[in-house]
């Protein structure tokens, strides 16, 4: 969808659908909504009095204007609810995102080719113009995402072609044009992650991920290194090779580098890239195993963020690293009881082949440490335990550096990709001790997300590091009771891209 900004009065813009908003408890609308109300002869005020328009979050009311018989050029008006002006800032931010997303979906439902909207949540809403604009623009685009690459007869026959942000003030219009460009490239990156994450495993293979990384690197002038099986053997990346041993698909290891002019700091972003996870010898139940095609979302996040870093000329050097492989059972698969030496020389005992993500991450993290970054953040759909603990609305955060964690938690509130910190107390490490090796790859069911993070901690040395378990936030499945309308259901969310961008704006 094309995103535009136009300096105009809301009463003068010619559009099939105009989106305005209302806060809960307001009986006499003001600002742009008030102007539209007056042009409609007080119709919005009357619907408020009648109780049809309430301003409650996640509500949309459509008014047909009988174009030509009102003071508007818009043929329809939709009033979206923004909740209470007294709500906490994070709730007001989320209400603005939801309002924009629902409005965009209403436009698609009405089968209009385009729509116009004001920015939701700025001014009386208490949000800065920048924050409110990003919420409105990004959600309007992301809400209309559909993955239909493999649909033929059932492919959707209508798409909304354009969204116009309307602003009467010239200076604010110029500011909105800058935000629009940022929103466009951000959504491009998020939707690349979504496309990769949701793609079927016979299509999004390790080779496909590596080729996609090459395409992004070529398009944006990034450095890239890609290693296959022979290079992995030569460099001693035995953990990646162990997980790959049962698959006919060759593995791939990718390191991408974005260099910012005059940057003094480097962030390493590491992702888990299991393109399909059967569990291996420790095989998973058959029910919902098809969702295991999403187990490479961490790697997809790396690719998407590298694209965004380059497109926005981020003022931080970024190293993006991921290993990609399938995890399948066969006569050559790695087995419970096997022992392998990782890239940094530490040994691991495999007690569960379905705890494979942390195994390939061990080599990837050790490689990242070798490049001497100032910090490492890894993304992994790592444990069902994290989803049990935090549900579908918060990413689990574990760290060896509290200052880094505090900055990332704050970025989560700004971006909407919210995180919640879990402890890495030393006592949990007792669960991954073994007489066979330096560490074992599973500490059992109890505190499974934490013991998985403690396993990863063995491979980051003393580099400031954050582990983000996105098992609950990477994908919205049919069992979730609530999915924000800017995310598809079912489908991949693209979590993490905006989180990292906001983190890098304030990283000190």
Residue 135: predicted pLDDT: 95
Residue 156: predicted pLDDT: 86
Strand partners, 78: 19, 62
Residue keyed to tokens 């809960």:
24
Nearest Cα residue to 322 out of 370, 368, 276, 371: 368
What is the C-alpha separation between 158 and 247, in angstroms, rounded?
A: 40
Contact at 8 Å (CB) between 193 and 300?
yes
Q: Is 80 in a helix, a strand, or coil? A: strand
What is the C-alpha separation between 196 and 181, in angstroms, rounded?
A: 23
Residue 295: predicted pLDDT: 98
Q: What is the pTM of this model?
A: 0.97
Residue 201: predicted pLDDT: 97
Residue 419: predicted pLDDT: 98
Query: Per-residue confidence of the chain (508 residues) as pLDDT tens digits?
Result: 999 999 999 999 999 999 999 999 999 999 999 999 999 999 999 999 999 999 999 999 999 998 656 789 999 999 999 999 999 999 999 999 999 999 999 999 999 999 999 999 998 889 999 999 999 999 999 999 999 999 888 888 899 999 999 999 999 999 999 999 999 999 999 999 999 999 999 999 999 999 999 999 999 999 999 999 999 999 999 999 999 999 999 999 999 999 999 999 999 999 999 999 999 999 999 999 999 999 999 999 999 999 999 999 999 999 999 999 999 999 999 999 999 999 999 999 999 999 999 999 999 999 999 999 999 999 999 999 999 999 999 999 999 999 999 999 999 999 999 999 999 999 999 999 999 999 999 999 999 999 999 999 999 999 999 999 999 999 998 788 999 999 999 999 999 999 999 999 999 8
Strand partners, 267: 318, 375
Contact at 8 Å (CB) between 381 and 295?
yes
Residue keyed to tokens 């009467």:
168
Alpha carbon dihedral 474, 480, 486, 488, in 10-degree steps, equals 70
Residues with catalytic roles? 284, 358
Contact at 8 Å (CB) between 224 and 213?
yes
How many CA atoms are closer than 13 Å to the CA of 470, on its beta-carbon side?
A: 34
Class of domain 2-153+161-167: alpha beta
The answer, yes or no, to whether the previous bond of 490 is cis (omega within 30 of 0) is yes
What CATH number labels 191-506? 3.40.630.10
Strand partners, 7: 167
Residue 68: predicted pLDDT: 59
Residue boundaries of the structural domains of the chain = 2-153+161-167, 191-506
């Amino acid at each position: 969808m094309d995103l535009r900004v136009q300096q105009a009065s809301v009463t003068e813009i010619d559009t099939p659908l105009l989106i305005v908003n209302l806060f809960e408890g307001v009986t006499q609308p003001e600002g742009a909504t008030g102007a539209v109300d007056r042009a409609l002869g007080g119709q919005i005020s009357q619907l408020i009095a009648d109780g049809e328009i309430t301003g409650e979050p996640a509500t949309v009311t459509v008014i047909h204007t009988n174009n030509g018989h009102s003071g508007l050029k818009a043929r329809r008006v939709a009033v979206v609810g923004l909740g209470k002006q007294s709500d906490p800032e994070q709730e007001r931010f989320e209400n603005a995102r939801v309002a924009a997303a629902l409005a965009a979906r209403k436009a698609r439902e009405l089968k209009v080719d385009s729509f116009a909207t004001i920015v939701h949540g700025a001014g009386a809403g208490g949000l800065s113009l920048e924050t409110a604009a990003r919420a409105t623009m990004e959600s309007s685009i992301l809400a209309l995402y559909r993955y239909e690459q493999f649909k033929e007869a059932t492919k959707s026959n209508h798409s909304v072609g354009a969204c116009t942000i309307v602003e009467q003030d010239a200076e604010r219009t110029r500011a909105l044009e800058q935000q629009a460009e940022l929103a466009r490239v951000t959504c491009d990156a998020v939707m690349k992650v979504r496309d990769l994450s949701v793609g079927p495993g016979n299509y999004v293979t390790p080779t496909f991920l590596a080729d996609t990384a090459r395409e992004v690197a070529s398009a944006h002038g990034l450095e890239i290194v890609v290693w296959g099986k022979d290079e992995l053997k030569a460099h001693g990346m035995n953990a990646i090779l162990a997980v790959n041993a049962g698959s006919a698909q060759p593995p791939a290891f990718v390191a991408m580098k974005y260099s910012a002019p005059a940057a003094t700091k480097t962030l390493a972003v590491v992702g888990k890239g299991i393109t399909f996870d059967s569990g291996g010898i420790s095989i998973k139940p058959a029910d919902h195993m098809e969702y295991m095609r999403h187990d490479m979302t961490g790697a997809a996040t790396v690719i998407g963020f590298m694209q965004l870093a380059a497109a926005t000329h981020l003022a931080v050097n970024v190293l993006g690293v991921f290993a990609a492989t399938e995890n399948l059972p066969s006569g050559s698969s790695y087995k419970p009881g096997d022992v392998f030496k990782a890239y940094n020389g530490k040994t691991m005992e495999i007690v569960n082949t379905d705890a494979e993500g942390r195994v390939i991450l061990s080599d990837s993290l050790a490689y990242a440490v070798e490049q001497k970054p100032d910090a490492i953040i890894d993304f992994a759909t790592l444990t069902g335990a994290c989803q049990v603990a935090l549900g579908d609305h918060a990413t689990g955060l574990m760290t060896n550096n509290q200052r880094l964690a505090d900055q990332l938690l704050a970025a989560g509130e700004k971006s909407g990709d919210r995180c919640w910190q879990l402890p890495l107390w030393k006592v949990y490490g007792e669960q991954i001790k073994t007489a066979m090796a330096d560490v074992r790859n599973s500490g059992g069911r109890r505190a499974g997300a934490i013991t998985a993070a403690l396993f990863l901690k063995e491979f980051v040395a003393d580099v400031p590091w954050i582990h983000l378990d996105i098992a609950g936030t990477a994908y919205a499945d049919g069992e979730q009771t609530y999915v924000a309308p800017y995310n598809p259901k079912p489908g991949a969310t693209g979590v993490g891209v905006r989180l990292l961008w906001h983190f890098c704006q304030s990283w000190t």
